Amino acid sequence: MLYQRSSQLFAEAEKVIPGGVNSPVRAFKAVGGTPIFVKSAKGAYLFDEDGNKLIDYINSWGPMILGHAFDPVVNAVIERAKLGTSFGMPTALETEIAELAVSMVPNIDKIRFVNSGTEACMSAIRLARGYTKRDKIIKFAGCYHGHSDSFLIQAGSGAITFGAPNSPGVTQGTAKDTLLAKYNDLENVAELFAANPNEIAAIIIEPVAGNMGCIPPQKGFLQALRELCDKNGTLLIFDEVMTGFRLAKGGAQELFGVKADIVTFGKVIGGGLPVGAFAARNEIMNYLAPLGPVYQAGTLSGNPLAMAAGLEMLKALHTDAGVFQRLEEKTAYLEKGIREKLTANNIKFTINRVGSMISVHFDESPVTDLQSASKGDNEYFKKFFHGLLQEGIYIAPSAYETWFITDALTYEDLDFTIKAVDKVTKQF
């Protein structure tokens, strides 16, 4: 496939946009080459500026769980736009989607809508600190909760030291209140609690990690975190920006049977438009202004176009009894096919999957945290990415990102992908 138009557009973009992109992973730095510029999309397919058709396995990094340009969402946005695009005032639509979301997700009474997953996670941390009257938080290496200062932290020199900023612009003062733990390592988390008694406001975690590839929680890990939080008066925050309304109607809380104190959402809840949200029980949410002292606001929060899109997406997932089973079956089929081809071609690999999230790691050791994810053969991944791209298949342009499966994929699409994997990896 040729990508001349994309190359030209990227060169033009670099003159006026930092790095030519508005989000770094789009720049293809991890895999080399020139980003693909999309012209349109429908169902399971992308159509780029050069006229190429690509089977899409990122689906806007998760929101397009029912496919691109899903008709109920598109029609709802069009009809709402005719009535006005933004008011900065309440609408009945906000209450309607809030009621539906609360009915679908366990252990929440109220929800507040914002404009991104980053904003949702940032607000959840502020709420947790205000509610507990504590400053410190625990996050896990390799989990991404957006680019708020509190989350751009790298490891300190030991298991119980403070983190350090890993981006210029993040202050040491911010970093000192963020403690970094190892994913799936309960003992490490317990050490942090022991070293910081009565100081930790919250643990925030992706219940299924998606930013070091797909990494599931080991059996009992989430439940043990719940127990540690209860014991120490600490809130447990599930960042369900990826997993919410994707792994089950009630997200990871429902799937794993573990209750979180605060849950954050994004991606699917917006139906493809910029929406985030955070939710909790009444006693926590009532700490938010205007009821309580914790301030959070946003001019475009609850934007009618975004609420219309999100409402139609949640309605579709709520009423379709078989959607999550179909997603599970399609992703399992894809996993089985890829596994067979990689094995036949003598490739060292590990595949992780939870529901409709899946990733291929080019290392045969189990991938359970950032350290083990980092052992993958990145040169293999680069060949894999570009090989599939030439076959008309678009996966995440980074070995550290999960794939997101859409229900719009057919079994013919999956078979085509499996055959492409076979063809590409035969050349390794």
Residue 274 belongs to a domain with what CATH number? 3.40.640.10
Task: For residues 94 and 46, state if they share a domain.
Answer: no
Full-model pTM:
0.96
Q: Tell me what pLDDT residue 164 has.
A: 62
Name the DSSP letter for residue 302.
Answer: T
* Catalytic option among 3, 45, 131, 144: 144
Closest C-alpha to 296, from 87, 179, 121 = 121
Burial of 359 (0-12, 13-18, 19+ CB in 10 A): buried
Q: Is 315 a catalytic residue?
A: no
* Catalytic option among 56, 177, 239, 261: 239
Task: For residues 148 and 191, state if they share a domain.
Answer: yes
Q: Tell me what pLDDT residue 173 has.
A: 77
Task: For residues 358 and 404, state if they share a domain.
Answer: yes
Q: Could you read off the pLDDT tens digit of each residue along the chain, which spans 428 residues?
A: 788 999 999 999 999 999 999 998 899 999 999 999 999 999 999 999 999 999 999 999 999 999 999 999 999 999 999 999 999 999 999 999 999 999 999 999 999 999 999 999 999 999 999 999 999 999 999 999 998 888 887 644 333 345 567 778 888 877 789 999 999 999 999 999 999 999 999 999 999 999 999 999 999 999 999 999 999 999 999 999 999 999 999 999 999 999 999 999 999 999 999 999 999 999 999 999 999 999 999 999 999 999 999 999 999 999 999 999 999 999 999 999 999 999 999 999 999 999 999 999 999 999 999 999 999 999 999 999 999 999 999 999 999 999 999 999 999 999 999 999 999 999 98
Task: Write out pLDDT tens, residues 366-397.
Answer: 999 999 999 999 999 999 999 999 999 999 99
Pair 106, 253: CB distance under 8 Å: yes
Domain closes at, from 319, 351, 383: 319
CA distances from 313 to 273, 277, 358, 421 (A): 11, 15, 22, 32
Element (H, E) at 42: strand 38-42
Task: For residues 366 and 334, state if they share a domain.
Answer: yes
* Catalytic option among 267, 330, 341, 382: 267
Task: For residues 271 and 360, state if they share a domain.
Answer: no
Pairing mode of beta strands 45-48, 53-56: antiparallel
Domain closes at, from 319, 348, 381: 319
Backbone angles phi, psi at 359, to 5 degrees: -150, 150
Task: For residues 170 and 202, state if they share a domain.
Answer: yes
Rounded distance between C-alpha atoms, residue 50 and residue 8, angstroms = 10
Element (H, E) at 350: strand 350-354
> What CATH number is associated with residue 343?
3.90.1150.10
Task: For residues 86 and 128, state if they share a domain.
Answer: yes
CA 246 to chain centre: 10
Task: For residues 35 and 62, state if they share a domain.
Answer: yes
Q: Is 320 a catalytic residue?
A: no
| 3-state SS class at 11 | helix
- The boundaries of the domain holding residue 31 are 4-69+323-425
Q: Tell me what pLDDT residue 277 has.
A: 98
Task: For residues 263 and 284, state if they share a domain.
Answer: yes
Domain closes at, from 249, 284, 319: 319
Domain count, the chain: 2
Q: Tell me what pLDDT residue 101 has.
A: 98
Task: For residues 221 and 340, state if they share a domain.
Answer: no
Phi-psi region at 256: left, alpha or beta (left = phi > 0; alpha = psi -120 to 50) = alpha
Task: For residues 183 and 203, state if they share a domain.
Answer: yes
Task: For residues 98 and 58, state if they share a domain.
Answer: no
Q: Is 177 a catalytic residue?
A: no
